């Protein structure tokens, strides 16, 4: 366990490059289970979650080799159909191996992913979809045991909620199912679409052009492919706020502005000047930060994964902001920590009301999860004096070398391992 020690009040300046997207890399690594050949992936970030997914795949007999930002994944000789509890409990996204493993081996045994700090995080849509495709699903001793003796059968599946993970699991299962699988009301995040583009490179026939429908033509054999992952829009948004909250001027390079639509609209509403050139975004604070009203929604709505970071900025706005969280039931775990830094925040009915204050004061705080931890680092950059953010292993799950990137922009931040 380690902590970040931050001396606040220094305006960040300069250019920072965004790493590859964690939430695109994870489903794409799971997609490699569908083929017996070797896939070569590029722009893979160095993150704890990527390591856990690599270990989970290796446990199944997959060859995973890392060289810098490249990853080769060869699922030619699967030796197991079961993932271990100790790995899945570390990273819920390991659950994404269920669909492809079941489709490839006609059976899979994966631990039920627990909830986590941000909410209950059910998997009913994943299981209902696989069941509709002909899988027999049993939950025994904390494991999901899925079998499909006659293989999976394509069918029409409707999602009550556009779940990212369920969309990914069912698309992956549909790739090797007999016939056509149609998902109605799917998630269409840039990360889901990146996985779809990877599958198309593997020769899978997928049509995602029709609004609100994704159609997958199952096929017998899937070829390996080489692919470069999209940039991480959540990291890009987090870094843009780092520049604004510290009253600095930074350029975030390599991010895709089209993936940050609603987020950039909200930053502009808060009085931030946004300039977009080819693959670079500059955010400049003009004067005071205006208060904001935000409601998190499924993509392309405002991302729940940027809600904690924006709430840190709203703590320093001139006036009252209202932030409503509709995706997860417990995604304000960073709020008590921000209060310790002097923020004025009331919480209730899955919303927070933030009364802006002239400044925050540095103190000790504890990261509750990936994005809540990032929000505390951002607050520490703006706060007067020294802040210490504990439990930074949460942050390392989703941010590659965060302290190095921020230091290169002039921040005084260092990592101290226990």
Kindly give, in sequence order, each residue whose CB lies less than 8 Å from that of residue 131, ignoring residues fewer than 6 positions away: 137
CB of residue 304 to ligand EPZ, shortest distance in Å: 5
List the one residue from 29, 33, 164, 222 that touches ligand EPZ (CB under 6 A). 164
Buried b (16+ CB within 10 A) or exposed e, 28-64: bbbbbbbbeebbbbebbbebbbbbbbbbbbebbebeb
Task: Please tell me the distance from the alpha carbon of residue 110 to that of residue 98, in angstroms, as a whole number.
Answer: 7
- Which residue lies nearer to ligand EPZ by CB, 164 or 413? 164
Interaction mask 71-110, ligand EPZ, x per CB under 6 A: ----------------------x-----------------
Instruction: Give Cα separations from 339 to 328, 332, 357 (angstroms).
Output: 21, 12, 11
Task: Please tell me the distance from the alpha carbon of residue 320 to that of residue 346, in angstroms, as a whole number.
Answer: 11
Please, which of residues 352-391 interact with ligand EPZ by CB under 6 A? 370-371
| Residue number with the smallest Cβ distance to ligand EPZ | 165
CB of residue 284 to ligand EPZ, shortest distance in Å: 27
Considering the candidates 32, 39, 116, 315, report the single residue annotated as catalytic. 116
Taking alpha carbons only, the member of 75, 109, 111, 72 closest to residue 90 is 111
- Which residue lies nearer to ligand EPZ by CB, 231 or 362? 231
Task: Please tell me the distance from the alpha carbon of residue 368 to that of residue 240, in angstroms, as a whole number.
Answer: 21
CB of residue 327 to ligand EPZ, shortest distance in Å: 5
Task: Please tell me the distance from the alpha carbon of residue 250 to that of residue 330, in angstroms, as a whole number.
Answer: 31
Which residue reads 């054999």 in tokens?
Answer: 221
In a 13 Å sphere around the CA of 341, the CA atoms on its Cβ side amount to 36
Task: Please tell me the distance from the alpha carbon of residue 155 to that of residue 129, in angstroms, as a whole number.
Answer: 9
- Which residue lies nearer to ligand EPZ by CB, 294 or 383? 294
Interaction mask 188-207, ligand EPZ, x per CB under 6 A: ---x----------------
CB of residue 26 to ligand EPZ, shortest distance in Å: 5
- The region of 64-72, 163-171, 281-289, 372-380 touching ligand EPZ under the rule CB under 6 A is 163-171
- Which residue lies nearer to ligand EPZ by CB, 166 or 250? 166
Q: Is 398 in the site for ligand EPZ (CB under 6 A)?
A: yes
- The region of 31-39, 162-170, 196-204, 352-360 touching ligand EPZ under the rule CB under 6 A is 162-170
Task: Please tell me the distance from the alpha carbon of residue 107 to that of residue 135, in angstroms, as a whole number.
Answer: 9
- Which residue lies nearer to ligand EPZ by CB, 153 or 330? 330
List the one residue from 305, 325, 337, 403 that touches ligand EPZ (CB under 6 A). 305
Interaction mask 115-154, ligand EPZ, x per CB under 6 A: ----x-xxxxxx----------------------------
Taking alpha carbons only, the member of 208, 204, 210 closest to residue 193 is 208
- Which residue lies nearer to ligand EPZ by CB, 121 or 295? 121
Q: Which two tokens stand for residue 23?
A: 């939430």
- The region of 2-10, 161-169, 265-273, 355-363 touching ligand EPZ under the rule CB under 6 A is 161-169
Helix/strand/coil for 30: helix
Q: Are 37 and 62 in contact (CB under 8 A)?
A: no
Please, which of residues 309-328 interact with ligand EPZ by CB under 6 A? 327-328
Clarify whether 116 is annotated catalytic.
yes
Interaction mask 240-269, ligand EPZ, x per CB under 6 A: ------------------------------
Buried b (16+ CB within 10 A) or exposed e, 89-98: bbbbbbbbbb
DSSP assignment letter at 139: E
How many residues in the shown chain lie near ligand EPZ by CB under 6 A?
25
Going across the sheet that includes 412-417, the strands are 364-366, 386-390, 2-7, 412-417
Please, which of residues 14-33 interact with ligand EPZ by CB under 6 A? 22-23, 26
Active site residues: 116
Which residues in this chain contact ligand EPZ in the complex, by CB under 6 A? 22-23, 26, 93, 119, 121-126, 161, 163-166, 187, 191, 304-305, 327-328, 370-371, 398
């Amino acid at each position: 366990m380690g902590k970040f020690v931050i001396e606040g009040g220094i305006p960040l300046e300069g250019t920072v490059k965004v790493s590859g997207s964690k939430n695109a890399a994870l489903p794409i690594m799971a997609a490699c289970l569908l083929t017996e050949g070797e896939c070569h992936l590029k722009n893979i970030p160095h993150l704890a979650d990527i390591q856990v997914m690599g270990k989970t795949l290796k446990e199944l007999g997959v060859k995973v080799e890392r060289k810098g930002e490249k990853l080769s994944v060869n699922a030619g000789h699967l030796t197991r159909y079961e993932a271990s509890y100790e790995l899945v409990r570390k990273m819920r996204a390991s659950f994404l191996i269920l669909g492809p493993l079941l489709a490839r081996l006609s059976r899979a045994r994966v631990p039920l992913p627990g909830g986590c700090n941000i909410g209950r995080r059910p998997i009913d849509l994943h299981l209902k979809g696989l069941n509709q495709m002909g899988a027999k699903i049993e939950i025994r001793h904390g494991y999901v045991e899925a079998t499909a003796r006659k293989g999976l059968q394509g069918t029409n599946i409707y999602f009550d909620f556009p779940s990212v993970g369920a969309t990914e699991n069912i698309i992956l299962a549909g790739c090797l199912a007999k016939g056509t699988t149609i998902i109605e009301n799917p998630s269409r995040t840039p990360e889901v679409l990146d996985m779809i583009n990877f599958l198309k490179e593997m020769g899978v026939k997928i049509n995602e052009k029709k609004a609100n429908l994704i159609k997958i033509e199952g096929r017998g054999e899937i070829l390996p492919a080489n692919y470069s992952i999209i940039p991480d829009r959540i990291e890009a948004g987090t870094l843009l706020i780092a520049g604004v909250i510290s009253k600095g001027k930074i350029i975030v390079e390599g991010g895709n502005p089209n993936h940050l639509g609603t987020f950039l609209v909200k930053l502009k509403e808060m009085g931030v000047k946004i300039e977009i050139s080819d693959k670079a975004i500059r955010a400049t604070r003009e004067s005071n930060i205006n208060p904001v009203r935000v409601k998190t929604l499924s993509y392309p709505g405002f991302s729940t994964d940027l809600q904690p970071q924006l709430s840190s900025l709203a703590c320093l706005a001139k006036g009252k902001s209202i932030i409503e969280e509709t995706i997860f039931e417990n995604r304000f775990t960073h709020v008590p920590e921000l209060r310790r830094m002097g923020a004025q925040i009331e919480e209730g009915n899955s919303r927070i009301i933030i009364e802006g204050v002239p400044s925050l004061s540095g103190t000790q705080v504890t990261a509750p999860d990936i994005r809540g931890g990032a929000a505390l680092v951002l607050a520490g950059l703006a706060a007067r004096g020294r802040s210490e953010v504990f439990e930074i292993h949460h942050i390392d799950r989703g941010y590659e070398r965060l302290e190095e990137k921020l230091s290169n922009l002039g921040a005084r931040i260092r990592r101290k391992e226990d």
